[in-house]
Each structure stands twice: as C-alpha cells, then as structure tokens.
Chains A and B, each alone.
Chain A
Amino acid sequence: MSTIRDFRRDTPPMTAQAESAARARLLAAAREPEPRREQHPEPLREPRTIRQAAIRQATTAGDARLVTRPALPNAT
C-alpha cells in the first residue's frame, strides 16, 4: 500500500453535469469564427518592395552611424 498514492483517492469523479458543461464550452469555442487575423492574413509584399524597404533602412542606419562616428586620423 502506498500512503501518497492512496491519499484522497476516494475523491468523487466529475459529475455528468460538469462534464457536459465543460464540453459544451469547448465546442462553443470551436464553433466561434476564427480570429480576423487568421481569416484575412496580411497580403505578402512584392519582393521588390521588400528589397527597397531593406535598402532604405540600411541607408538610413548607415547615415546615422556616419553622423555619430568620430573623425578618423588621416592615413599616413
């Protein structure tokens, strides 16, 4: 005999009423329409648009670095 395995082993099982209510809640959630995001996914951008955006971002970041970088000594 195991003390811990038998601890509260005689706890009453789930009632049919509680089971049916919980199952009904699950089914109601399953029947709800999908969230809007899933029904209307954002259209994919054209590859060219993505490339342009990436170039624009890289150029801007590069500008910022140039502005903040201290001047380098001249090469000898």
Chain B
Amino acid sequence: MSVETAEIDDAELIRRSVGDREQFAVLFDRYARQIHLYAARRIGTQAADDIVAETFLAAFRRRGSYDLSYPLARPWLYGIATTLVARHRRQEERMLRALARTGVDPLPEPIADTVVRRVAARDKERELAEALASLSRGDRDVLLLVAWEGFSYEEVAQALGISPGTVRSRLHRARRKTRAVLGDEEL
C-alpha cells in the first residue's frame, strides 16, 4: 500500500476506483487476510482461498452500488464473504458435528502442511462445536461476526442487510442455545 493511499478511507477508494479501477486492490490489501481467516475458521483454508478471491471480485463488480456514506467497507466485504460461506453451510455443519463427536477437528489444512495438526479438542470446544452446528445459519452468522470479528450490532446489520433489532434477537437466540457452553461469557 502506498503512502498516498494509506490514509484514504475505504469509501473514497471505492469512489476513486470507478475511474482508476486498480485502486480497488488497496481494499484487497487491507482486508483479504482477515476475511480469509474468518472464512477459514468456518469452512477450512482451501475453501477460504476461493471465498477471498470471489468476495473481492463480487465487490469490485458491485462497487458502483456501494453506499459511500459508510467510510469503512469492512462490513460490506464481510457480508459478501458470509453469503459465499453460506454455500458451504452443509460442509460447515458436518465438520462441526465431526469435531463434537470425535474431538478431532476435520477442518482441512493446507496441502503444503507436512505435519497435519490434529489436536484433540477440549470438552468445551466439542460442546461448542455441537452448539454452533445446531444454530440456524443466520444466527450463526451473527454470533461469529460479533464474537470473532468484534462487529457492533450496526456493523452486523450493514454486513447482512438486516436491522439492528434483528441482529439483537438473533444474537440473543444464539446465546441462549450456546449458554451451556459459554455460560455468561461476554461477546
């Protein structure tokens, strides 16, 4: 990222990318790694590679409809990524249930890793995996965006195209279902 673009907010970059299309790559440099980690924690690193590439391609093609009143594009990009992750919903739930059942996380590791780390999960993680698998996709999306990415209710609402009230009710429902594992942990 050049010094010139380092201090420009995302909305301004998107606006500039209408005329200078390669400016959009600065957004990639800002967010690709964190979106990859988010997707990889849900569906594995190999699927996350595709999710990242497709997220930025879709965002680039839709940049004309971005609401420039939001200076940060992070929620918008996570929203696109979350929609793409949804295509792998069954795979995600299957892997969570396998972890809950066996204590071994089947989340695919990169092929390049010669040592495949398969650490037996603690009991709490197994219970959490089962609880996450039992959530609806919408409730799980909200819970993970808040817990893993530190999104505010408003940011989740922007990302998923729902109201802050819906975010609150989904999070409440997810917390109720995972209470046995999470107890009173703050999210």
Contacts and interface: CB of A to CB of B under 8 A. Distances in A.
Contacts of A21: 49, 53
A19 B24 contact: no
Contact of B56 (A4, A10, A26): A26
Interface residues of B, number: 43
A14 B25 CA distance: 17
B128 A7 contact: yes
Contact of A22 (B56, B112, B128, B181): B56
Nearest to B109: A12
Interface in B60-83: 60-61
A11 B95 CA distance: 14
Contacts, number: 98
A11 B48 CA distance: 11
Interface stretch (A27-35, A54-62, A65-73): A27-35
27 contacts: A2-B187, A3-B124, A3-B181, A4-B143, A4-B185, A5-B147, A7-B132, A8-B107, A11-B37, A11-B45, A11-B107, A12-B45, A12-B109, A12-B113, A13-B33, A13-B37, A14-B33, A14-B40, A23-B32, A25-B56, A26-B57, A27-B22, A29-B60, A30-B22, A30-B24, A30-B60, A31-B22
Interface of B: 17, 21-22, 24-25, 28-29, 32-33, 36-37, 40-41, 45, 48-49, 52-53, 56-57, 60-61, 105, 107, 109-110, 112-113, 117, 124-125, 128-129, 132, 143, 147-148, 178, 181-182, 185-187
